[in-house]
Structure formats: structure tokens, C-alpha cells
Amino acid sequence: MQTNHWCASVDATIQLRTGCNPLEKHGPQAVIVHADAWAPMDAIADPHDIRQVVDYEVIFLAIRRLEANPHCECLESSILEVMDAIFSIPVVSSAFVSMHKPHVYNGQGTPAISLTMTREQWQKKRP
């Protein structure tokens, strides 16, 4: 949690192909996605205009696009795709994305992964 920052959160459940782990090769499975994007209050000229704060739709659409992206078959690559979309919003200074598969091991285990990055860390990972 950051102080003096706006936080936009998006929660979604998508169907994601699997393939990184032999135990997960069952075709598309439900994946629960949570994304937070933080923007400093001082960076927002008009806090009454949500498009200046953080555009939820950009994050939501990036999450939904994972279902159609053949390269996103594991949680790790999928999280990076969502991070790219979040940091395409200029005012965002940091982000958190988590994903988990609630049914992958027949209810006996729920693989989950999360990533927190600042804009500076994200820029360093860019090619």
C-alpha cells in the first residue's frame, strides 16, 4: 500500500490455456486475476476525471486479451502482458498483479504467482 497515491484495482476471472507444467495440460482453465495500479496524487491535474487518474478499462481489456493471446499460456508471461498495459498509462508509478488457478490440481492445490514492480523496474526490463 502506498500513501498519497490513487489505486485502481481490477478483478477478473478468465479462461487461460495452460502449458508450462505437465500437471496443468488440461486445456483452458479458470484463472483469477487481480491487478492494482498506483498513481501519485500530485500527478493528477483533475482528480474528478477518472481518465486522468487510472483508466480501469485499459487494465481490464489487457486481462481479457490474454484469453486470445497464444503466447500467454503460463501465468508468468501473462502477468508481464498485464504489467505492460498498466505501465502504458503515463501516471502509473507502480503496479501489482496476481494470478491463481483455483481448480488446477483437482482442488488439492492452487498455483498462484504475483509480481510487484515500479515504473523504473519495468523500464529496465524492456528490450
Domains and CATH numbers, the chain: 5-125 (3.30.1130.10)
Q: What is the pLDDT of residues 13-28, one digit of tens each?
A: 998 876 566 666 666 7
The whole-angstrom separation of Cα 95 and Cα 84 is 10
Does the structure show a pLDDT above 80 at 52? no
The whole-angstrom separation of Cα 112 and Cα 114 is 7
Model confidence band, residue 73 (pLDDT cutoffs 50, 70, 90):
low
| pTM of structure | 0.84
Q: What is the mean pLDDT of the chain?
A: 83
Which of 60-64, 71-75, 109-113 reaches the highest mean pLDDT?
A: 60-64
Residue 95: burial class (beta carbons within 10 Å; 0-12, 13-18, 19+): buried
The answer to whether 59 and 10 are in contact (CB under 8 A) is yes
